[in-house]
């Protein structure tokens, strides 16, 4: 299939941060093949999408989430973290079955497609069901089976989660034309013993798989680590050799300057989740310090039960605002930096130069925003408009791998009514 996006304003997110006006973009099969002002040849053979008064940009990459947690949205809010987890979330999750996770994932994917996300980085369980939802919907995802145990043994060859992780990686990595990639997901240092973390690391290394882990999310985690291990959570993982593998570390709210140097040294990507960190009162990550040190920072929503949505435009906005507010410095995390975190830095985190920007040869993962909205007028500086005025509902088209998955309120690959019906049924069962 060949598409011609005609006459768009294009936010390329390339290294020069070029913004092109009255621009044509041609997509052939799964790739962008042309970006430029001149009318491309053979245009008459393409499906033409008129982009007058529309903005075209790379699809957003949600750097950390637990997509089926849409099922627990608006269920337990305004609670202490421990109460929230142990009295509400874990008991509800105990009742989950594979098909629940499948429909919860489809719901989350619908929400992401409708708000401009084309790829998400996830950690959960019943991963086969999430992968199936990804395959069916057409979105792109980086998936890891979350695993944990505080057992201090040395042999974890019978550990159910770890064995599932290995099987999952072998079965799904590179599947769905490469839209699904796999990782190993040791949950966190407070849910995984050092011996288990090492076992997960070694299993991942054997398969050449990357790591996705929660790190230094709360002050309690940080202080417990100092007490139990005599070092910070980041130094703990560093010493265990986890960072020798390609790693995405979610949160990093309480990292020290020394930790930031370790993250930089090992090229660890940090997934910043400002909405979730605020809602759970975890704190505010030292993002400007990490950017300054050269750490690759990406943006995530975290699960919908601690956010309570999967709207990346909200995270872009929060990421740009909260540092200014708490540090009393309006120059921190400017609009362009916040947009990079949601696009091109996400591509970097996945080791993909062909994701996160609009240029010939890249994957055709892109979105269109309608500029005919009062809050987008006057547009003036497009990057500012995207970080400070844009709303998720401005997204009118979402394309992944050269396929249009969402357009003008309509999902092309997902039966919306069926998903809503199933979700109601599931929630009646698990939330009682
Ligand atoms: Zn998380």
- Helices (H), ranges, 12-141: 81-83, 90-94, 98-114, 127-137
Give the position of tokens 């949601």.
342
Ligand 1 centroid – CA 231 distance (Å): 22
Cβ pair 297, 341 in contact under 8 A: yes
Ligand 1 centroid – CA 147 distance (Å): 13
Q: Could you tell me the pLDDT band of residue 429, with boundaries at 50, 70 and 90? A: very high
Maximum distance among all alpha carbons in the chain?
68
Residues 6+ apart with CB under 8 A from 83: none
Distance CA 112, CA 117 (A): 5
Work out the average pLDDT over 280-307. 97
Ligand 1 centroid – CA 298 distance (Å): 14
Ligand 1 centroid – CA 343 distance (Å): 19
Ligand 1 centroid – CA 253 distance (Å): 13
- Confidence check: pLDDT of 45 > 80: no
Ligand 1 centroid – CA 51 distance (Å): 36
Ligand 1 centroid – CA 65 distance (Å): 6
Ligand 1 centroid – CA 90 distance (Å): 14
Give me the residues paired with residue 271 across strands.
Answer: 250, 298
Q: Could you tell me the pLDDT band of residue 372, with boundaries at 50, 70 and 90? A: very high
Ligand 1 centroid – CA 7 distance (Å): 40
| Tokens representing residue 158 in the block | 């019978």
3-34 tens-digit pLDDT = 999 999 999 999 999 999 999 999 999 999 99
Work out the average pLDDT over 385-407. 98
Ligand 1 centroid – CA 413 distance (Å): 27
The better pLDDT of the pair 431, 318 is held by 318
Ligand 1 centroid – CA 279 distance (Å): 13
Ligand 1 centroid – CA 422 distance (Å): 25
Ligand 1 centroid – CA 30 distance (Å): 30
Give me the residues paired with residue 3 across strands.
Answer: 27, 47
The reported pLDDT for the residue numbered 43 is 65
Ligand 1 centroid – CA 183 distance (Å): 15
Distance CA 366, CA 379 (A): 20
> What's the Cα-to-Cα distance from 352 to each of 251, 253, 356, rounded to whole Å?
22, 26, 8
| Report field, pTM of the whole predicted structure over 0.75 | yes
Ligand 1 centroid – CA 44 distance (Å): 47
3-state secondary structure of 71: helix
Residues 6+ apart with CB under 8 A from 113: 137, 139, 398, 400, 405, 406, 411
Ligand 1 centroid – CA 222 distance (Å): 16
Ligand 1 centroid – CA 4 distance (Å): 38
Residues constituting the chain: 432
Give me the residues paired with residue 48 across strands.
Answer: 4
Work out the average pLDDT over 49-53. 96
Ligand 1 centroid – CA 382 distance (Å): 31
Ligand 1 centroid – CA 64 distance (Å): 6
Ligand 1 centroid – CA 208 distance (Å): 23
3-state helix, strand, coil in the chain (%, to 5): 40, 25, 35
198-241 tens-digit pLDDT = 999 999 999 999 999 999 999 999 999 999 999 999 999 999 99
Ligand 1 centroid – CA 320 distance (Å): 21
Ligand 1 centroid – CA 271 distance (Å): 10
- Confidence check: pLDDT of 172 > 80: yes
Q: Where are the domains of the chain?
A: 2-58+358-411, 60-349
Q: At what angle do helices 98-114 and 127-137 cross, to 10 degrees?
A: 40
Ligand 1 centroid – CA 276 distance (Å): 9
Ligand 1 centroid – CA 338 distance (Å): 20
Ligand 1 centroid – CA 211 distance (Å): 14
The reported pLDDT for the residue numbered 38 is 72
Distance CA 89, CA 391 (A): 29
In CATH, the number for domain 60-349 is 3.20.20.140
Ligand 1 centroid – CA 213 distance (Å): 8
Ligand 1 centroid – CA 217 distance (Å): 9
The reported pLDDT for the residue numbered 83 is 86
In CATH, the number for domain 2-58+358-411 is 2.30.40.10
Alpha-carbon Rg for the chain in angstroms: 21
Cβ pair 183, 209 in contact under 8 A: yes
- Confidence check: pLDDT of 417 > 70: yes
Ligand 1 centroid – CA 203 distance (Å): 22
The reported pLDDT for the residue numbered 42 is 66
């Amino acid at each position: 299939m060949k598409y011609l996006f005609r006459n768009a304003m294009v936010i390329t997110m390339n290294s020069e941060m070029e913004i092109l006006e009255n621009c044509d973009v041609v997509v052939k099969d799964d790739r962008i093949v042309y970006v430029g002002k001149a009318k491309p040849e053979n245009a008459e053979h393409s499906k033409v999408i008129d982009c007058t008064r529309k903005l075209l940009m790379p699809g957003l990459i949600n750097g950390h989430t637990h997509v089926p947690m849409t099922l627990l949205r608006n269920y337990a809010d305004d609670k202490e973290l421990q109460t929230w987890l142990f009295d509400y979330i874990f008991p509800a999750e105990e009742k989950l079955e594979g098909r629940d996770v499948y429909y919860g994932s489809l719901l989350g994917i619908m929400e992401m497609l409708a708000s401009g996300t084309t790829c998400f980085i996830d950690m959960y369980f019943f991963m086969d069901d999430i992968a199936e939802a990804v395959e069916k919907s057409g979105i792109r995802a980086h998936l890891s089976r979350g695993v944990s145990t505080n057992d201090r043994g040395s042999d974890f060859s019978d550990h159910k989660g770890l064995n599932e992780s290995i099987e999952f990686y072998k079965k799904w990595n590179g599947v769905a034309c490469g839209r699904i990639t796999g990782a190993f997901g040791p949950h966190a240092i407070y849910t995984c013993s050092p011996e288990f973390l090492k076992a997960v690391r070694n299993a991942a290394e054997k398969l050449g798989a990357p790591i996705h882990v929660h790190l230094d999310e709360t002050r309690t985690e940080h202080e417990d680590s100092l007490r139990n291990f005599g070092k910070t959570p980041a130094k703990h993982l560093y010493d265990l050799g986890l960072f020798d593998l390609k790693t995405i570390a979610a949160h990093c709210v309480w990292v020290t300057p020394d930790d930031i140097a370790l993250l930089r040294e090992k090229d660890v990507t940090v997934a910043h989740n400002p909405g979730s960190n605020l809602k759970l009162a975890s704190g505010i990550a030292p993002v400007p310090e990490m950017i300054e040190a050269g750490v690759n920072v990406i943006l995530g929503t975290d699960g919908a039960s601690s956010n309570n949505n999967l709207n990346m435009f909200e995270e872009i906005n929060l990421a740009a605002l909260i540092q200014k507010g708490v540090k009393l410095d309006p120059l921190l995390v400017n609009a362009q930096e916040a947009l990079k975190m949601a696009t091109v830095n996400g591509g970097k985190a996945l080791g993909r130069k062909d994701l996160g920007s609009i240029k010939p040869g890249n994957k055709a993962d892109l979105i269109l925003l309608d500029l005919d909205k009062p809050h987008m007028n006057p547009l003036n500086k497009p990057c500012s408009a995207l970080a400070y005025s844009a709303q998720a509902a401005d997204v009118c088209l979402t394309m992944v791998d050269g396929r249009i998955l969402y357009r003008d309120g309509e999902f092309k690959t997902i039966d919306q009514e069926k998903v809503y019906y199933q979700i109601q049924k599931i929630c009646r069962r698990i939330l009682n």
